[in-house]
Amino acid sequence: MWAYESVFYQIYPLGFCGAPFENDGVLEHRITKVNDWIPHIKKLGANAIYFSPVFESDTHGYNTRDYTKIDTRLGTNEDFATVCKNLHNEGIKVILDGVFNHVGRGFFAFQNVLEKRWDSPYKDWFYINFDGNSNYNDGLWYEGWEGNFDLVKLNLRNEEVVSHILSAIKGWVEEFDIDGLRLDVAYCLDHDFLRRLRSFCDSLKPDFFLVGETLHGDYNQWANDAMLHSVTNYECYKGLHSSFNSMNMFEINHSLLRQFGPEDWTLYKGKHLLSFVDNHDVSRIASLLQNEKHLPLIYALMFGMPGIPCVYYGSEWGAKARKEDGDPALRACFAAPEWTELTTFISRLAEVKKSSEALNYGNFRSVLLTNKQCIFERKSEHERVLVAINAEDAPFMAHFDAGCGMAQELITDTPHDFGGGSELPPYSAAIWKMEH
């Protein structure tokens, strides 16, 4: 699967393009801005892009009005088809946000229910009670997502609803040639629907990639041969920044051992979860880390651990934003991409990750662990790599059995001699490819 050898780049289009929060119905060709960023995305080393919602919605994209039409604030279907073609021409895969748990109040079928009530042919598309009332005083009650009545929950056990969604996805493949979907709130989706979706998408396009948004619980519920290829690794998202902020590398190491360790009981061996240090829903990592010197290190750890790394637009040069300042702050419009030392470092990590069998497919073993340092091994059939992190402001002499005398340090592309111990400079990361 191509996704397992990829580096993802996430864009939240409505914010990225500077669209108004409310859908004003005014057609603006804002999505073409992505074309200007393709050289930057390519230089960064990302070879897959994940677009948060692009379809017509009431406000933020997750309250869909129309699954077949690009949001008026972003442009036309033709605009987006050109963007996708340009990305594909540069070898960049395209993943769209599939928001199938709920729709917006502006969705045609729900509007029909509000108008015709009992007589609406769409009344069974939702969870409706005509004897109740909603926050909007509709004179009927309906189930919203987690109590949000602007997000009307779809009945995914209704054949017409499922057909509508599958037809839309087929349209996205035909019109935009997309390569996969990220499923919003996948942890809420009906499991039979997910099985149906997987089977349908497998028939549409070979290696069509499905990744689901999950928070906690056993990820095997959703990531398995019958449902999704991957899910978001929120457990390690927390472990990553928490380990640096508390200077306790045992935390992330514990999560990685629990998920991917050598013992038979570990949870996700052989699976490729989506790794990230931030996204459109959480504070940017540069605002979350207490020590900015840790910023390159957390990316090195994220790229080195098992999983598919995903970088959120703007964070590659250290943009800041806090969750408490509201979602729009997290989904900023940048006039142009920036390039900093951090960006250069991430681009090196991306190249290393994509070309390493061990980092893409290798198992996980902890080699050395202190509060402020960690070294772990990623080993595949033909390659063995060690990832080393020193989060301390002082050099650290690491003594361990490397199993060989020499290695190539992949970030700097320099030889490394293990004889007499390995000195890790202050605030440093190394990825050693071991000699055979």
What CATH number is attached to the domain comprising 126?
A: 3.90.400.10
Tokens 């629990």, residue located: 258
Is residue 210 classed as helix, strand or coil in its secondary structure? Answer: strand
* Among 119, 165, 122, 117, CA closest to 141: 117
Strand 93-98, strand 180-183: pairing: parallel
Statement: residue 407 has pLDDT above 90: yes
168-189 tens-digit pLDDT: 999 999 999 999 999 999 999 9
Statement: residue 436 has pLDDT above 90: no
pLDDT at 50: 98
Q: What angle do CA 61, 229, 343 make, to 5 degrees?
A: 65
What CATH number is attached to the domain comprising 64?
A: 3.20.20.80
Say if residue 253 is in the same domain as residue 140. no
Could you tell me if 287 and 324 are in contact, meaning their C-beta atoms sit under 8 angstroms apart?
no
Domain count, the chain: 3
3-state helix, strand, coil in the chain (%, to 5): 35, 25, 40
Once rounded to an integer, what is the mean pLDDT over residues 51-74? Answer: 98
Strand partners, 8: 48, 310
pLDDT at 259: 97
102-138 tens-digit pLDDT: 999 999 999 999 999 999 999 999 999 999 999 999 9
d(CA 117, CA 113): 5
Say if residue 87 is in the same domain as residue 110. no
Once rounded to an integer, what is the mean pLDDT over residues 368-397? Answer: 98
Once rounded to an integer, what is the mean pLDDT over residues 406-413? Answer: 97
pLDDT band of residue 159 (cuts 50, 70, 90) is very high
Say if residue 278 is in the same domain as residue 298. yes
189-248 tens-digit pLDDT: 999 999 999 999 999 999 999 999 999 899 999 999 999 999 999 999 999 999 999 999
Say if residue 392 is in the same domain as residue 429. yes
List of E strands, 131-271: 141-142, 144-145, 148-153, 180-183, 209-212, 230-231
Say if residue 150 is in the same domain as residue 176. no
Could you tell me if 153 and 68 are in contact, meaning their C-beta atoms sit under 8 angstroms apart?
no
281-317 tens-digit pLDDT: 999 999 999 999 999 999 999 999 999 999 999 999 9
* Among 315, 254, 306, 320, CA closest to 275: 306
Q: State the average pLDDT for the chain.
A: 97
d(CA 74, CA 132): 37
**Six-digit token string for 33:** 């801005």
Provide the 10 A C-beta neighbour count for residue 175: 15
Say if residue 55 is in the same domain as residue 83. yes
CA dihedral 220, 237, 424, 286 (to 10 degrees): 160
Statement: residue 366 has pLDDT above 90: yes
pLDDT at 435: 87
Say if residue 381 is in the same domain as residue 337. no
Tokens 């927390």, residue located: 238
Strand 406-409, strand 93-98: pairing: unpaired
Once rounded to an integer, what is the mean pLDDT over residues 412-435? Answer: 96
pLDDT top residue among 152 and 147: 152
- Taking each helix axis from N to C end, the angle separating 250-260 and 234-245, rounded to the nearest 10 degrees, works out to 160
418's CB contacts (< 8 A; 6+ apart) are 402, 404, 405, 406, 407
What CATH number is attached to the domain comprising 377?
A: 2.60.40.1180
Amino acid making up residue 245: N
What are φ and ψ of residue 42, in 5° steps? -65, -45
Among 136, 155, 174, the domain boundary falls at: 155
pLDDT at 81: 98
pLDDT at 293: 98
Tell me whether residue 393 is exposed, middle or buried, using C-beta atoms within 10 angstroms of its C-beta: 0 to 12, 13 to 18, 19 or more.
exposed
Once rounded to an integer, what is the mean pLDDT over residues 48-60? Answer: 98
Once rounded to an integer, what is the mean pLDDT over residues 18-47? Answer: 98
Say if residue 114 is in the same domain as residue 72. no
pLDDT at 361: 98
Among 319, 337, 360, the domain boundary falls at: 360
Could you tell me if 356 and 407 are in contact, meaning their C-beta atoms sit under 8 angstroms apart?
no
d(CA 144, CA 7): 34
Query: With pLDDT > 70 as the criterion, what percentage of the chain qualifies?
Result: 100
Strand 141-142, strand 373-379: pairing: unpaired
Say if residue 107 is in the same domain as residue 225. no
Q: How many CA atoms lie within 13 A of 133 on its CB side?
A: 5
pLDDT band of residue 147 (cuts 50, 70, 90) is confident
Domain that holds residue 272: 2-102+157-360
